[in-house]
Amino acid sequence: MDWQIMFHINKISLDDLKFTVNLTNTMKWDLVEEDFEYMMKLEPNGCFITFDDEKRIGIATTISFDNLGWLGNVIVSENYRGRGVGSLLVRHALEYLVNKHVETIGLYAYIPKVPFYKKLGFEYDSEFIYLKGTAVSMPIKGCTREAVEEDLGKIIDLDRLCFGASRRKLLKPIFLDTENLCQIAIDDSKVLGFIIAKRYAGVAEVGPLVCQEECKDIAVELLKNILNQLKGYKVSMCIPKKETVILKKLVKWGLRESFPLARMFYGEYFGKNYIYMAESLEKN
């Protein structure tokens, strides 16, 4: 039987948010209704839900930055898996992004899901490690400082050079939210790197971190500074496996490697030579 003709896809609406949170809770993704509202605000036509008749059965979200898109929150109710719903959602999301003239689409996949995304046209790019732990304070050298509003333009510019597209629509509200933290390292007027952390009640997501490739020490200082400010918070972050020096430091500071992830791309992606940590798994 062709299962897929039984299912239809809509944009996620506010009425769906209880379902989206309950569904993602089954994977312990720690998302709340406000997270989905935020995603819907960032990409109003790009957050999708699948139905079997009236029954909600799966979701996927996207975000587009010029010609670069990102796919996240792909999840199907357990008793509907293996019937093509996930593939249908991903294809629908791809079609939406391609229609918006997005040329390259990225995602972070659990390693066992790599074959699923490969079948849908994504290619493996590189491995990332998701780390968790409690932030502790450490001695710092003082070569970074808290970013101020006048730095925002430069931060967005450096991020664009590293990421490949401007993430202004994502980074500006995060930066302007006074709960969040941002440290910057500047030499003369050149930004060497920056780091952002989003804070919720006792929990913080660290990232993005972007740093000039030759400035490994600065990347370490940025991390130390932000962790100092987050002392006692439960923190998480997602860092390329190839950043072994930084990874070792993070483990030494008490964070533990939680699980690996594969960054994958649909379409061509030209890796940039920067030290980089993801913003979040859904939105990069």
Q: List residues near ligand COA by CB under 6 A.
A: 3, 27, 74-76, 81-87, 109-110, 113, 115-116, 119
| C-alpha dist (Å) from residue 209 to 76, 100, 102, 263 | 31, 28, 24, 16
Angstrom distance (rounded) from CA 284 to CA 281: 5
Contact by Cβ (8 Å): 231, 134: no
- Residue placing its CB nearer to ligand COA in the complex, 113 or 216: 113
The residue among 273, 270, 274 whose CA lies nearest residue 106 is 270
- Residue 271 gets which letter from DSSP? -
Angstrom distance (rounded) from CA 272 to CA 231: 32
- Residue placing its CB nearer to ligand COA in the complex, 79 or 178: 79
The residue among 14, 32, 34 whose CA lies nearest residue 24 is 32
Least Å distance, CB 59 to ligand COA, is 9
Nearest residue to ligand COA on Cβ basis: 86
- Residue placing its CB nearer to ligand COA in the complex, 3 or 231: 3
Least Å distance, CB 260 to ligand COA, is 12
Least Å distance, CB 272 to ligand COA, is 23
Angstrom distance (rounded) from CA 59 to CA 38: 15
> Angle CA(221)–CA(222)–CA(227) in degrees, nearest 5?
95
- Residue placing its CB nearer to ligand COA in the complex, 116 or 200: 116
Biggest distance spanned by C-alpha atoms of the chain:
66
Least Å distance, CB 130 to ligand COA, is 12
- Residue placing its CB nearer to ligand COA in the complex, 1 or 148: 1
Two tokens, residue 278 = 């993801």
- Residue placing its CB nearer to ligand COA in the complex, 3 or 157: 3
Least Å distance, CB 58 to ligand COA, is 7
- Residue placing its CB nearer to ligand COA in the complex, 160 or 263: 263
Say if residue 208 is preceded by a cis peptide, omega within 30 of 0.
yes
Least Å distance, CB 17 to ligand COA, is 18
Least Å distance, CB 118 to ligand COA, is 9
Strands 181-187 and 190-199: antiparallel
